Amino acid sequence: MQENALRLENVTKRYGTMTAVDNLTLTVPSGIVFGLLGPNGAGKTTTLEIVEGLRRPDVGHVWWGDVDVAQRPERARSRFGVQLQTSAFFELLTVRETLELFHSFYRRRLPVPELISRLDLEEKQNARVDGLSGGQRQRLALAVALINDPEVVFLDEPSAGLDPQARRKLWEVILGLKAEGRTVVLTTHYMEEAEFLVDRLAIIDRGRVLDEGTPRELIQRHMPAAVVEVSRSVGVNSTVDLPAVRRMEERDEVTMLVSDRLEDTLVGLVNWAQREGRTITGLTTRNATLEDVFLELTGRS
């Protein structure tokens, strides 16, 4: 396998006056789980469609190893499998029949029994698709994505709508793909999922890469600070001048303070509360997370 599974060079895609992908350059090393994160409308889907050869960029190139996707799309497509967020199947077919149907489309392919076993679908192999749960349908979709024994697997919001147990099972499968030497490229809105799964990630917005690196690198680069959270009922807001607070944000019932010097911020908070006659409730402190970095860079979810 090539050292880099994918390489995008100065890729731009416009729709009329709207630029969906804006001079985007990105490299995905082989054999890792790579996350493509961004808010809705950031350009993630268009970027994936270009990489998969489904859309041609107006400017720039996409390389699969030494293959230019625009010049040889059929060769590029033979190397990857795709699991969409929602997949359309023939609802009256069984799980096994569905896999056998897709199996017939490829020359290079994995055995259906192996896929059924790997995706933990043995008990459902003779069940019709219309009777599957959300997690079972996602595992079937992933089995279909693996039928052609791909080098690279694209997962678009793979755990959307799944309960925590089904999500954890899916994570185990994804890590298993990496252990086999495959490259996994996933999009997700779950920051804890990205932090748990990905080796490297790129955060994009408005078609541009805002930053790229490992989760730890991004946290250290953008949020070396600590996070203080207090109940919104305490009344801390943007008019309160607290030391070492770089950003203040209200989330649900909590006011979040991003602090460059935790001790100074806590002392300032206590002094303010004493002056104002306020009682501090719901106080917690924690290290910054990937979600904090995401919001810091994009300003939106």
Describe the chain by its helix, strand, coil percentages, rounded to 5: 35, 30, 35
- pLDDT confidence of residue 286: 92
Rounded mean pLDDT of the chain? Answer: 91
Domain co-membership, 190 together with 60: yes
C-alpha count within 13 angstroms, C-beta hemisphere, residue 176: 13
Give 9-66 pLDDT, tens digit per residue.
999 999 999 999 999 999 999 999 999 999 988 999 899 989 988 899 999 999 988 8
High-pLDDT (> 70) share of the chain, %? 99
Q: For the domain that residue 269 is a member of, what is the CATH number?
A: 3.30.70
Question: What per-residue confidence (pLDDT) applies to 279?
Answer: 95
Q: Which domain holds residue 291?
A: 221-298
Length of the chain measured in residues: 301
Same-domain pairing of 227 and 210: no
Q: 301: pLDDT confidence band, cut at 50, 70 and 90?
A: low
Identify the domain boundary among 179, 214, 249: 214
Residues 147 and 192 in one domain: yes
Residue range 254-280: mean pLDDT, rounded: 94
Q: How many domains does the chain divide into?
A: 2
2 pLDDT more than 80: no
Which two structure tokens, joined as six digits, stand for 195?
A: 């932090």
| Predicted TM-score (pTM) of this structure | 0.84
Compute the C-alpha angle 44/47/50, nearest 5°: 150
The yes-or-no verdict on residue 76 having pLDDT over 80 is no
Both 180 and 123 in one domain: the answer is: yes
Q: What does the pLDDT read at residue 166?
A: 83
Do 126 and 234 reside in the same domain of the chain? no
Residues 162 and 283 in one domain: no
Strand-by-strand arrangement of the 226-231 sheet: 245-251, 254-259, 226-231, 284-287
Name which of 16-25, 221-230, 258-267 the model is least confident about.
221-230
pLDDT at 265 over 50: yes
Task: Indicate which CATH number applies to the domain containing 15.
Answer: 3.40.50.300
| CB of 282 closer than 8 Å to CB of 292 | no
Q: Is the pLDDT of residue 1 over 50?
A: no
Of 198, 214, 230, which marks where a domain is finished? 214
Kindly provide the b/e burial profile for residues 49-85, where b requires at least 16 CB atoms within 10 angstroms of the residue's own CB: ebbbbebebeebebbbbebebeeebeebbbbbbbbee
Per DSSP, the three-state class of 163 is coil
134 and 31 share a domain? yes
Domain identity same for 199 and 287: no
- In this prediction, residues 233-253 reach a mean pLDDT of 91
Q: Yes or no: say if 86 and 162 are a contact pair by the CB < 8 Å rule.
A: no
Q: For the segment 113-145, what is each residue's pLDDT rounded down to a tens digit?
A: 999 998 989 999 999 999 999 889 989 999 999
Place of tokens 């935790």: 262
87 and 132 both lie in a single domain: yes
Same domain, 77 and 160: yes
Q: Which of 196, 199, 191 is nearest to 297 (CA)?
A: 191
